[in-house]
Chains A and B, each alone.
Chain A
């Protein structure tokens, strides 16, 4: 590991969430009795088929979803809503179409009342860091999907959170763009040291990025297994050739196959 540093611990205790039945649809047990502890500066991937409640779990940590039972604690403090220690990256990017790249990246800081000059300076730095130099005054609709998510990532990093919550951030991107963004994400985090909770339905992505993979079952969403990845960091470019990589993928695939309804 070698990453025992400061930073908060995230603790999920007996978390349950049920979405009530709506017209023509049965009630859904999104989460049932989930216990999980995430260590400081750890990169945890929540992996599971669609509808297994992994996004609900992430939003519970973000303070955007209220649980029916159980609690989320960050460094021992009960989570009751969003907070400055956390920032989120969204699957559909959630960029404001009327704002240019710099204004979008600075939006989190703007909401926190940071003066315009300060926040734009910070945003400008992050636009460079995520590889979008020269696109400061482009609007979202002028950017490709991959570039839009770079903006989303820069917006989250701009508020300098201790915890980065990522909800299938690369799910909407093509395979090549996805790989590039995975590599760039790891490089960015190398220099920043954050706790990351990353939701994905790609086994490959979970193993490439995570320190641990939390495997979840669908309906009710429960933790089925937690796997230590144990691959070297920084991750080598030829990670596929590592025997552990193939072994992990095989194991995860077996597990997921057994879950098939």
Chain B
């Protein structure tokens, strides 16, 4: 009886997962087919078909041109994001636990949140030139706010009862930070990092397209200028693939280290 029940539940879950994967595959296939049909119908130089784009992508992947661009772009992104992670987590913790800091820093956070960050790019470049530093600073500014806000929101969910309970068992200040505040805010910290990473990728591409023609942004501009629509689309696909892969990696990490969080706020 029991076994049968377990068995049924097990296959039920598996079936559900298979159905979901199937539907997602179907969705992508429909999109690719629609794209291909539309391109054939328009028969324009400006819109390559799906097959043509994939062929261009395969050719691109075998050249050093693409990989050098990926490497160059990601240097700035990785550095800027890492800096944003460190500062964002520290700022979020500070603002979440210390009211004067929150009051003092709130205006700046709101300004950064409200300003279209592309408007900052010319200023940063005027101040720091066209080198790596300016690109690092820009990806940093793209990612910082969302990380800070999420860490701070995570701390606001810490129940004062947990703090009192820990104190009653003799917790020291450092134990409180490690075992209650940071531990409790961990899912929110990871969510902040995931969203910050998405921002950093968009910062990296924006700056390369707008002012510092370099890396993937430069490839995109080059192919656009040469009306090489196959390779242009292929390069954009590479950017999309990188962003999606990074986000999925973080989502997987979140579920692994914070299984208690269940259905998170942001999915």
- A→B interface (CB under 8 Å): 62-64, 82-84, 86-88, 90, 92, 94, 96-98, 107-108, 110-112, 139, 141, 159
B170, A83: Cβ atoms under 8 Å?
Answer: yes
Residues of B within 8 A of A112 (CB): 169-170
B161, A90: Cβ atoms under 8 Å?
Answer: yes
Known: A88-B165, A94-B165. 8 other contacts (CB 8 A): A64-B164, A82-B167, A86-B168, A87-B168, A90-B164, A111-B171, A111-B179, A112-B169
Residues of A within 8 A of B175 (CB): 111
B168, A82: Cβ atoms under 8 Å?
Answer: yes
Residues of A within 8 A of B170 (CB): 82-84, 111-112
B165, A90: Cβ atoms under 8 Å?
Answer: yes
Contact of B260 among A64, A86, A98, A108 (CB under 8 A): A98
Given contacts A92-B161, A94-B161, A98-B184, contact A111 B258 (CB under 8 A): no
Residue of A nearest to B164 (CB): A64
Kindly provide the distance from the CB of B54 to the nearest chain A CB, expressed in whole angstroms.
44
B224 at the interface (CB under 8 A from A): no
Question: How long is the Cα–Cα vector from A108 to B175 in the complex, in angstroms?
Answer: 11
Residues of A within 8 A of B179 (CB): 107, 110-111
Question: How long is the Cα–Cα vector from A72 to B182 in the complex, in angstroms?
Answer: 34
Contact of A64 among B159, B168, B183, B184 (CB under 8 A): B168
Question: How long is the Cα–Cα vector from A82 to B166 in the complex, in angstroms?
Answer: 10
B162 at the interface (CB under 8 A from A): yes
A98, B166: Cβ atoms under 8 Å?
Answer: no
Binary interface encoding of chain B residues 143-180 relative to chain A, with 1 for a CB under 8 A from any of its CBs, else 0: 00000000000000001011011111111000100011
Give how many B residues have a beta carbon under 8 Å from the other chain's beta carbons: 21
Residues of A within 8 A of B183 (CB): 96, 98
- B→A interface (CB under 8 Å): 159, 161-162, 164-171, 175, 179-180, 183-184, 186, 258, 260-262
Residue of A nearest to B183 (CB): A98
Residue of A nearest to B161 (CB): A94
Interface SS, A side: loop
Contact of B258 among A98, A107, A141 (CB under 8 A): A98
Residues of B within 8 A of A97 (CB): 260
B167, A64: Cβ atoms under 8 Å?
Answer: yes
A88, B168: Cβ atoms under 8 Å?
Answer: yes
Residues of A within 8 A of B186 (CB): 98
Kindly provide the distance from the CB of A134 to the nearest chain B CB, expressed in whole angstroms.
16
Question: How long is the Cα–Cα vector from A111 to B164 in the complex, in angstroms?
Answer: 13
B260, A139: Cβ atoms under 8 Å?
Answer: yes
Residues of B within 8 A of A86 (CB): 168
Listed by A's residue number, 17 A-B pairs whose Cβ atoms lie within 8 Å are: A63-B168, A64-B168, A82-B168, A82-B169, A84-B170, A86-B168, A88-B165, A90-B164, A92-B161, A94-B162, A96-B162, A97-B260, A98-B183, A98-B261, A107-B166, A111-B171, A141-B262
Kindly provide the distance from the CB of A138 to the nearest chain B CB, expressed in whole angstroms.
11
Question: How long is the Cα–Cα vector from A180 to B35 in the complex, in angstroms?
Answer: 67
Question: How long is the Cα–Cα vector from A100 to B165 in the complex, in angstroms?
Answer: 16
Kindly provide the distance from the CB of B52 to the nearest chain A CB, expressed in whole angstroms.
50
B161, A108: Cβ atoms under 8 Å?
Answer: no
Question: How long is the Cα–Cα vector from A122 to B161 in the complex, in angstroms?
Answer: 24
Question: How long is the Cα–Cα vector from A96 to B184 in the complex, in angstroms?
Answer: 8
Question: How long is the Cα–Cα vector from A166 to B184 in the complex, in angstroms?
Answer: 25
A94, B169: Cβ atoms under 8 Å?
Answer: no
Residues of A within 8 A of B171 (CB): 111
Residues of B within 8 A of A110 (CB): 179
Question: How long is the Cα–Cα vector from A97 to B169 in the complex, in angstroms?
Answer: 17
Of all A-B residue pairs in the complex, the 8 with the closest CB atoms, nearest first, are: A94-B165, A108-B169, A94-B161, A88-B168, A98-B260, A111-B169, A111-B171, A82-B168
Question: How long is the Cα–Cα vector from A109 to B179 in the complex, in angstroms?
Answer: 13
Residue of A nearest to B175 (CB): A111
